[in-house]
């Protein structure tokens, strides 16, 4: 039997292809925490803090054991011949979710993105295919069920950063492959969501220049200045302004288009 756990959005769980409903928020939080720390031992105290936000019930051990018991019943998966399965083991001083890392979408996404980034310089076409498939795993913001929990913040930042790196690499691959228009719409959306990330603006202008839309670079730079000024009371760095000027200048006859 196979358990698939999806963290790239709201928590979703499948057992042998069938969706499993975890109606209790405590069970969802417990499974998310155990999945983030899969295949390692999580102490009862740590698990309780994550599930009840530091306000653990009086009979802490009994509450945690009861919670895990109900969670096990929902998963209903034990190891079988030829397959490690997925299950929650009692390992003192706590519990461990034993699962194949590839059965967690966040792990598959991270591994695929890492491989794609490594081959981008020599095989942009394969990079584009891999990153497109990896980004399709996302169904919303990472760890949506625990978005405001302190213990989830580091993992949310890591996954979000990896997602942005994947988006940037995909845009770069499309530009190299001569299809910059495929990158422009996505980059325009990303610069709205992450205006402080200068590399997104630079890639957007690079794609616009590659598409021959040099005037759009100038308009986009004005948008960047307005966004940063109105929302964050800061001005773009001089380097960003310089790149906007370079990408916004159409190449003259006899002078090659800018690269990089």
CA distance 174 to 185: 12
User: Smallest Cα–Cα separation from 165: which of 122, 134, 126?
Assistant: 134
**pLDDT (0 to 100) of residue 82:** 46
List, in order, residues 6 or more apart from 244 with CB less than 8 Å away: 201, 205, 217, 218, 220, 221, 224, 236
Q: Domains of the chain, with CATH numbers?
A: 3-100 (1.10.10.10), 180-253 (1.25.40.10)
Return the DSSP state at 70. Answer: H
Q: What is the pTM of this model?
A: 0.89
List, in order, residues 6 or more apart from 150 with CB less than 8 Å away: none
175-221 pLDDT, tens per residue?
A: 999 999 999 999 999 999 999 999 999 999 999 999 999 999 999 99
Percentage of the chain exceeding pLDDT 90: 81
Q: How far is CA 214 from the centre of its chain?
A: 31
Surface-to-core class of residue 253, CB atoms within 10 Å of its CB (0-12 exposed, 13-18 middle, 19+ buried): exposed
CA distance 71 to 68: 5
Higher per-residue pLDDT: 71 or 81: 71
125-179 pLDDT, tens per residue?
A: 999 999 999 999 999 999 999 999 999 999 999 999 999 999 999 999 999 999 9
According to DSSP, the β-strands at 12-15 and 18-20 are antiparallel
What distance, in Å, lies between the first and last C-alpha atoms of the chain? Answer: 48
Higher per-residue pLDDT: 81 or 75: 75
Average pLDDT, the chain: 91
Average pLDDT on 114-119 reads: 98
Higher per-residue pLDDT: 85 or 252: 85
């Amino acid at each position: 039997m196979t358990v698939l756990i999806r963290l790239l959005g709201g928590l979703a769980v499948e057992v042998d292809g069938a969706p499993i409903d975890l109606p209790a928020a405590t069970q969802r939080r417990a499974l998310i925490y155990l999945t983030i720390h899969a295949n390692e031992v999580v102490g009862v105290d740590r698990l309780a803090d994550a599930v009840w936000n530091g306000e653990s019930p009086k009979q802490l051990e009994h509450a945690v054991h009861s919670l895990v018991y109900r969670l096990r019943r929902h998963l209903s998966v034990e190891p079988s011949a030829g397959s490690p399965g997925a299950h929650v083991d009692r390992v003192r001083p706590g519990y461990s979710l034993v699962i194949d890392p590839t059965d967690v979408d966040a792990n598959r996404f991270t591994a695929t993105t890492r491989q794609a980034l490594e081959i981008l310089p020599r095989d942009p076409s394969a990079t584009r295919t891999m990153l497109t498939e990896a980004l399709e795993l996302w169904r919303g913001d990472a760890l949506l069920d625990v978005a405001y929990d302190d213990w989830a913040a580091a993992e949310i930042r890591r996954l979000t950063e990896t997602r942005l790196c994947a988006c940037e690499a995909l845009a770069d691959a499309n530009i190299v492959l001569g299809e910059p228009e495929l990158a422009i719409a996505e980059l325009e959306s990303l610069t709205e969501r992450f205006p402080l990330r200068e590399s997104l603006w630079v890639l957007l202008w690079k794609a616009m220049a590659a598409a021959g839309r040099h005037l759009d670079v100038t308009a986009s730079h004005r948008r960047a200045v307005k966004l940063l000024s109105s929302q964050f009371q800061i001005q773009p760095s001089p380097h960003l302004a310089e790149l906007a000027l370079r990408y916004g200048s159409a190449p003259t006859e006899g002078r090659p288009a800018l690269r990089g």
